[in-house]
Each structure stands twice: as C-alpha cells, then as structure tokens.
Chains A and B, each alone.
Chain A
Amino acid sequence: MTIVQNTPLVGTSLERLEDERFLSGRGQYVADVRKAGMLHAAILRSSVAHGRIVRIGLDAARALPGIHAIVTAADIPQPIPRIPLRLVPLPEFAPYHQPVIASAKVRYVGEPIAVVVADSRALAEDAIDLIEIEIDNLPPIGDRDVDASGSFLFEETGTNIALRYHTASGDPDGAFATADYTRRETFQIQRHTAAPMETRGLMAQWDESGPTLKLYGAAKVPYFNRRALAAMMNLPETSLELIEVDVGGGFGVRGEFYPEDYLIPFAARLVGKPVSWIEDRREHLMATNHSRDVGATVEIACTKDGTITGLRGEVFGDMGAYIRTNGGVVPTAAGMFLQGPYRIANVDITVLALMTNKTPVGTYRGPGRFEANFFRERLLDMAAADLGIDPAEFRRINLIREDELPYSIGKRAPHLPDAVYDTGDYHAAFERCLTEIDWTGKAAVQGRLIDGRYHGVGIASFVESGGAGPKETSRFVLEKDGMVTIAVGSSMLGQGLETTFSQIASDALNIPVSAFRIDHGSTARLADGLGSYHGRSIIVGGSAVLDGAEKFRTAVIEAAANLLGRPNAELRFENGAVVSDAGASISLSQIAASRRPDDGLLSVDGIFLVNKPTYSYGTHAAYVAVDPDTGRVEVLDYVAVEDVGRAINPMIVSGQAIGALVQGLGGVFLDHLIYDEQCQLLTASFADYLMPTATDFPSLRSVALELRLSPTNPLGAKSAGEGGMVPVAAAVGNAVGAALQSCGAQPRTLPLSPSKVWSLIHEPAATAP
C-alpha cells in the first residue's frame, strides 16, 4: 500500500463506505440468507394475556403436508431454559426471567407456545391456524395498581412488584420542610417501541458432525448471546458461531436475546436442516421488546428566587410480563436521570418495577432518559410559571456551572457506582440553543393565538450517559494482499461504523480508508465483544480500533525489522510502508507476501478498557402551533444542541441527531402501543401503530458542538446517538404547555395526540394521568 493519506479524516464528513451495497440492492439482511434445503418456521403465540394452558392439540396441524416439526414446551429439555439478564442483573429480578417457551402459563399476548417448521412460511402459518389451543383465562394485570386484584403473574412471589429501591442524597425531607415553594405532579410516558424497519429474523444451521451451530441474524450483542445460547444448549461457546449480516435498524430492541434465539436453533437441531424464521410485522409488535411506559410522581422544592433545593420522585416502570435482558434499564435509568443537569443538593428517588400482562419491555434509544427529562422539565416549567420566573432564567439559575464539574449526583441505582458528570459547559450549550430558536424574539408569540392557532416555545436541558465499559476489543489482520482487516466487537445497525472505524484507523496509520475492511460478521473473529448499545460504539469500540492500530504499527515495524535487517528504532511506518532512516522501504503488501505459511497472517489484538461513562449534554427548543379545534400540533421549528465531545464524522452525527429527533417526535405525537382492559394489544399493525412519515416534521435543525472532550477515551468522544432523542418530549411538552397557557392546559401524559391535546383545551379535568 503506497497511497498517501495526508489529511486527517476524523472530523470530516466522509461519504459512507457501506452505502454502495445498500443503494444497489446488494445489502444482505437475514431474510436474504438462503441455504439449500432450508425450511421455514412460524410461531404460535398466545392470544390470551394471562391464563393456564389446558391443552395444545397438534393432530390436525401435523397432518398437513409439508410440515416437518412442531415444537412445544413438552419437547424442550426440562427445566425450560430461561433468558438471562444482560444489564441490571438484580437478584430481585430472578423470579421473572422469561422461559423460552410457555409451558404451564401464558403471561402476555404474543408469548411463544409452539414453533412450526415447514417447507414454506405460508405452510407453517397454515399449520398454526390448525393448532387447537385451550387456555383457562386468569385475571389480567394491566394498570399501575398491580397488586390490587390479588392475581399474580408469578404466584410464588405473591406480588407483581418485582423491584422497589430508594436512593437519596443530602437532606431531602429537610429541604422540603423548609422550602418556600413546592409542587408535586404526576406524569406518564406511554408504552411505545423502536419498530425498526427490518423485523427480527434468524437462520439456524446445525451441523451434527461438530456439533456446531451457525446462527445468522445476530445483532447488537452477538457475543453475549453466544454465551447465553451455549449455556442453554449445553455446548461450549466455540461450537457456536453467531453471524451478523446487515441489520435494518436496532434502536435498542434488535439483537437482544429473545425466546426465538433459542427456539430456532433448537428447531434446526431437531430437524437437521437449516431453519429460517423471519418475524412478521404483526409478531414484531407483540413479540419484540416494548419500551418506555414509565410514570412518575415528582415533587420540586425551591426558594422564592428560583433556586431548586430539593427533588423527590417515585418512578414506576411497567415491565410487562417478564424481565428481559435489559428491561431493568428502563425504570432505573429514569430514576438515574431525574435530576438532570441541575445543581440539586437534596434528592430522594424511589424506583418500582411493575409486572403486568403485556409484552416485556427493553431499552429503546434514550431509555429512561426520554421519560425522566419529560417529568423534570415539565415540572420545572410549571414551577417557573408559579414563581413568576422566565423558564430560561429559571434554568440558568440551576444549571450546573463548569467550575462545579466534576459533579457527583451520588449513587442512584443499586447496580451502579456514584454517577459523576465529567466535563462540559452546560450553560454554553443552553445559550446557543436559545440563540438558535430566538428565545428573546419568540417572547412576542408565546401563548398567543395567531391565525387561529396558539403558538408556544419550549426548552429542555439534559445530560445523559454513554460509552458503557468495561471494554471492547479489535483485531487487526494483515491480509495476503496487503489489505488490513479490522475485526471489531462492535455491531452495526445502520450507524455507519464501517466508515467511522475506517476513518479512525486511517488517521492512526496514515493509510487510506480503502486499505481497510471492517469485519463485524461473526463471533468467530474475536474472543469477546460487548457490542453496540449505550452510545458506546465510537467511544469504546473506536478506542479499541485506535489501540489496535497503534499495536498494528508496532507489529508491522517489528516484522519489517526482521525482513530489512535493521533495528526497530531506525524504522518508521509511513505512507503504507515501513521505511528506514537509511532509505530502505518495505510495503504492507511485501510484508504480507513475505510471511511464511507456518506464521499465518500478521495480526494484533486491540483493547480498550474503561470504567466510567461519558456524559454528553445539551438543550433542545421547540416552537409549535396548536390548532384548538382539531388538537393538531405543528412543529414550526425545532433546534437540538448537543456537545458530542468530538464528531468523528459530522455528517453521520447530524444524521443520528435528526433521526433520533424524529423518532422522539414520534414518541411525543404518534407511537403508542395500546392495550385494552383484557391486556389485548390493539395496535398490532402499522395501520394502528403510527410512526412519523415524511410530511410530519419537515422543520428540524441540529447543532453538534465540540465544546469539551470526554476524558474517558482517547478520541474525546461522547455519545451522539441518543442526544437527539432524550429531551424531545420535554421540549415539545413545554412548548405545548406554553402555547396553551391561557387555557391552563398542562401536558402531563403522552402521546400528545390530537384528541389528547383537544381534551387538554376543552376538558382539562379529564386529562389527569
């Protein structure tokens, strides 16, 4: 490799390297993986929310031509494996782990009861229609008062409250007892979910001779899933290869360990042929993790001049019927981020995890943060109004100043150490946002009826963590042709990591991006990898790439030293070649070609260890107009300002911010998983589950700041994928509240659907949470 890469690529908006295959229809997603003799699976799911299985009649289904196997709990080795927790593995959650298939009881609509393997998906669905299922209904648990009826999802625990913990800092009782002003409010964020455009899917291929299993369709956390599946199947991890092909979006829900991640490999092993299961959209909406569905009662204490002296909150998360791999994150993070970027000395937070007969929850982009920011920022606006203080001024008084950083908010969750905000200029980001939205100028329209619509501007600030440790790994391999393959433990779900990792490696080694191939395709490549979540891929994964690049340079020089017969100290890696002070030179291709067959390929392992998260922060502002007759809210302008530390690729950072923003606006106005009193899901199609389309939110802006580098990683990066999402409900809620101030309307619950907003205006008494 002799081409010189002179200008640094990190910090430039390089066009994405992965785009060509997506644009030409050559992406390979899991439904595109075909093997000879491959069969197709479909899953019979419970149509009852809570009940005892009395009988499963399979005769008619089995008699159908083209059916190879029908698997029920009776076929699975006992005890039926249960899905382990990946995050927040609290002992309190132990009784609530999900079994991979329902046996005695069903606990939500969508729970797997049987797997049919057939020549085609259509035939498998035909067979499912013929399975006779008898279930004795039990009273479903659906609302917040989970223990009121005496019906329990897990009788042995005698409660539907899986977890309750309490954290405090300072003297909250004292602060509230002596406060000039207090206000207490209850808020609720509706159940909704990520709904990536590609549903989940798996293709399992069992080879009895190994025995080995290849499982296509892995995403997000393949190495964790390999570990979990190996344990469930009683196989060594090395017998399993989880393969990540292109993934059509994740946003938290895709790639976690679900029942099918066991059932489809089990079925493939049973029938001895490759088995493909592609989740359809109806199943997706009832089987893939739901999220949000967190409420809170929050109370604020202030002095008359607007200094916040105390914050108390009780946060309750509806977990659905089981605690899934990362479900515990949702309510615990809501408790964690309730305080936000404000100086509050006295804080008291209780968190409850409630079990209900609904689809289990997991994380969705900005888990807990979207909710917590809404609760707090709405309460801040109400308090500011009560105190007669401008909402911006109220925040200025209380936002943590840079000279107060690092700022510890203390221990806010039983499974985490003290949270310490690291670096930043919260005020600078805040003021930038106010300037962008023209806060001062907009005072003229605030709350006014203009051409039949109420106008309002709202602001909201946030701080959020990213870059979870403890580590990530990479492996640099010099291929025979001189190309450098970089195997990474990070996963790719559309974030453009093939590009950004190549940018990082390119700068580190000063060779062009075309010299690299980013390999995230298989768990066979590395011993371990932690994957992609919590805004960690650039921060931790990118730092592992950087470490690998440095080690690669050393190893290449070492190899060249032997070949050139010069000491290491005389050699430099320049322009894709190792050169000596004396003028000798050997290219990567030549080094690769000179390897003896026994030596194998030159390879080095990179690793990055970190035990602290990064804290990104920022402020959003929304300008809305509300039609009082229809309840329609139009977002006239929206500005998202976030300090991302360092943007590896500003174009991608902007894409993440705007994309997250529109998802957030969906969560504010549209996305809603609705259940009836029987815990039947009423929104199991895209005709009923509504998401933003191109006409909904055309006027959006994002500003990515690089004010303060993160101290946790050599790139200085903070997470950039979630900041566009986390304060959206807060900012819009405040804007709608400001617009409707003359009606006394206060958004406390989402979604702000037209009917909800209309009710806020026309029947305010009916809209308490």
Chain B
Amino acid sequence: MSRKIDITLTVNGAAYAHAADTRSTLVDFLRDDLKLTGTHIGCEHGVCGACTVLVDGEAVRSCLMLAPQADGASIVTVEGLGAANGELGALQRAFRKHHALQCGFCTPGILTTAHALLTQEPDADADRIRDVLSGNICRCTGYVTIVQAILEARDAYRRPADAGTSR
C-alpha cells in the first residue's frame, strides 16, 4: 500500500521538508506537492524529456524517478534557471532571440537539459548538442533554432558567473 514518507530536499536553492507519497513520481511531487508547475509532463513514460530536471547536477527525467528517491537531493527546475536579478538567464535569452520555442511546453525540459550540458561541456558543438537533445521531443520548432540558441549560450557558460543560476 502506498503511504506518505517524509523527505527533505532542496529545489532551486530552497529547502523543503515534505511528506511524499510512496507511489509519487518526482515530477508529480514537484508539481502537485511543491506547486512548481514549470516542469511539464509530456508522456510519463520516459521518452519525451519534457519533465527533465537537474538532480545533483545531472539532467534526469523526473517521471522516471520516485519522489522518495529524491530524498536529500539538490534539484534545479526551470524556475531556477533565471539570473540572480530575477531576469532571464543567458540560455533563456538566447532561446527568445533565436525563436527556439513556440508553444513552450517542451521548453522547460529542453532548457534544463541544455543547462546541464553546457555546465558540464561549455564547448559542446552542434553535433553534441543534437545528440544530447535527441532525448527531448519538440513538436513545434524542428530543433534548428534550439540548436542555434544553445550554441550561442555557450559563451555565457564559459564564464559561469553570467550563466544564470549559481544556486
């Protein structure tokens, strides 16, 4: 039988202590329990990538992780990608400049994926970016502008202070 168990975690720098249902996925926990609805559910079976968040610095599909498994973890969601002054970060600005989003539904998962990639590999080339992005489905853009935006944002990640979140 499912039941609630207490977990603690930090999300975008804020600490939470919360009871999570044992059958809750991390994405449902973030959306329903923590009310962080920026992370989206596109398929719930680990294919589309819309629910991607960073768990301890690594991009992860949050529909394929149980909420209790995030106990003690440090999580970054799309809500945590902005610059410290509350404005859009370099990656987000590049997305707007290059029209790398249309309906915006897959965008949070693509931003978190790209943020993880560029944090680890700020020199990723277009092939590497496409390779990594192949785990995220976008039905609107055809990906061309997304790749352009991520390429442009690389500069900011080479100088981490500008890259957006430092939390």
Chain A residues in the interface with B (C-beta under 8 A): 13, 15-16, 18-29, 31-32, 34, 122, 194-199, 246-251, 278, 280-281, 493-496, 651-652, 654-655, 658-663, 685-687, 691-695, 697-698, 700
Contacts and interface: CB of A to CB of B under 8 A. Distances in A.
Given A658-B141, A686-B45, A15 B133 contact: no
Mostly, the B contact residues are: loop
Contacts of A29: 37, 40, 105
Interface string B29-70: 001000111111111110110100000000000000000000
Given A22-B103, A248-B103, 4 more contacts: A22-B101, A197-B138, A249-B102, A686-B137
Contacts of B42: 197-199, 281
B137 A248 contact: no
A494 B40 contact: no
Contacts of B37: 25, 28-29, 31-32
A298 B105 CA distance: 40
A651 B47 CA distance: 29
A250 B105 CA distance: 11
Contact of A691 (B82, B137, B146): B137
Contacts of A18: 104
Contact of A686 (B2, B47, B92, B142): B47
A247 B95 contact: no
Nearest to B80: A25
A651 B146 contact: no
B88 A197 contact: no
A249 B137 contact: no
Contact of A493 (B103, B130, B137): B103
A181 B145 CA distance: 46
A232 B2 CA distance: 40
Contacts of A685: 43, 45, 47
A724 to B, nearest CB: 9
A700 B103 CA distance: 21
A316 B130 CA distance: 39
A691 B50 CA distance: 14
B158 interface: no
Contact of B139 (A34, A251, A695): A251
Nearest to B94: A23
B28 to A, nearest CB: 9
Point out which of B48, B79, B146 has the most chain A C-beta atoms below 10 A from its C-beta.
B48
B95 A196 contact: no
A16 B92 contact: no
B102 A197 contact: no
A647 to B, nearest CB: 13
B64 to A, nearest CB: 13
A695 to B, nearest CB: 5
B108 A659 contact: no
Contacts of A27: 38, 104-105
Contacts of A687: 45, 47
A655 B103 contact: no
Contacts of A698: 126, 130, 143-144, 147
A691 B143 CA distance: 12
A686 B2 CA distance: 27
Interface residues of B, number: 57
Contacts of B130: 694-695, 698
Nearest to B35: A34
Contact of A31 (B41, B78, B133): B41
Nearest to B129: A694
Contacts of B78: 23-25
B142 A23 contact: no
Given A26-B38, A32-B37, A281-B45, A198 B137 contact: no
A24 B38 contact: yes
Contact of B105 (A19, A249, A655): A249
Interface in B90-133: 92, 95-97, 99, 101-108, 111, 126, 129-131, 133
Point out which of B31, B39, B111, B143 has the most chain A C-beta atoms below 10 A from its C-beta.
B143
Contacts of A122: 2, 21, 23
B106 to A, nearest CB: 5
Nearest to A195: B139
Interface string B12-37: 00000000010100000001000111
Interface in B72-95: 77-79, 81-82, 88, 92, 95
A662 B104 contact: no
A652 B147 CA distance: 16
Closest 7 CB pairs of A and B: A25-B38, A494-B103, A248-B105, A22-B104, A662-B142, A686-B47, A694-B133
A23 B105 CA distance: 10
Mostly, the A contact residues are: loop
A269 B106 CA distance: 33
A634 to B, nearest CB: 14
B135 to A, nearest CB: 8
A662 B137 contact: no
A661 B103 contact: no
Point out which of A196, A652, A654 has the most chain B C-beta atoms below 10 A from its C-beta.
A196
Nearest to B111: A23
B99 A23 contact: no
Contacts of A34: 35
A251 B139 CA distance: 9
A195 B105 CA distance: 13
Contacts of A247: 103
26 contacts: A19-B96, A21-B104, A22-B101, A22-B107, A23-B107, A25-B77, A31-B31, A31-B40, A32-B31, A197-B42, A197-B103, A197-B105, A198-B40, A198-B105, A248-B105, A249-B139, A494-B103, A655-B141, A658-B141, A659-B102, A659-B140, A659-B142, A685-B43, A691-B139, A698-B126, A698-B130
B69 to A, nearest CB: 17
A659 B103 CA distance: 11
A31 B28 CA distance: 11
A652 B130 CA distance: 22
B95 to A, nearest CB: 6
A390 B42 CA distance: 46
Contact of B143 (A21, A250, A694): A694
A686 B137 CA distance: 10
B39 A23 contact: no
B134 to A, nearest CB: 4
Contact of A693 (B21, B95, B137): B137
Contact of B88 (A16, A20, A31): A20
Contacts of A25: 36-39, 77-79, 81, 108
Given A280-B44, A691-B139, A694-B130, A16 B103 contact: no
A248 B104 contact: yes
A693 B48 CA distance: 9
Contacts of A660: 142
A24 B88 contact: yes
B92 A662 contact: no
A693 B92 contact: no
A20 B104 CA distance: 10
A652 B104 contact: no
A496 B101 CA distance: 10
B122 to A, nearest CB: 19
Contact of B101 (A13, A23, A651): A23
A24 B79 CA distance: 6
B42 to A, nearest CB: 5
A651 B50 CA distance: 24
B140 A249 contact: yes
A23 B50 contact: no
A685 B2 CA distance: 26
A117 to B, nearest CB: 17
B95 A23 contact: yes
A568 to B, nearest CB: 42
B92 A24 contact: yes
B147 A694 contact: yes
A197 B106 contact: yes
Contacts of B142: 658-663, 692, 697, 700
Point out which of B2, B99, B131, B140 has the most chain A C-beta atoms below 10 A from its C-beta.
B140
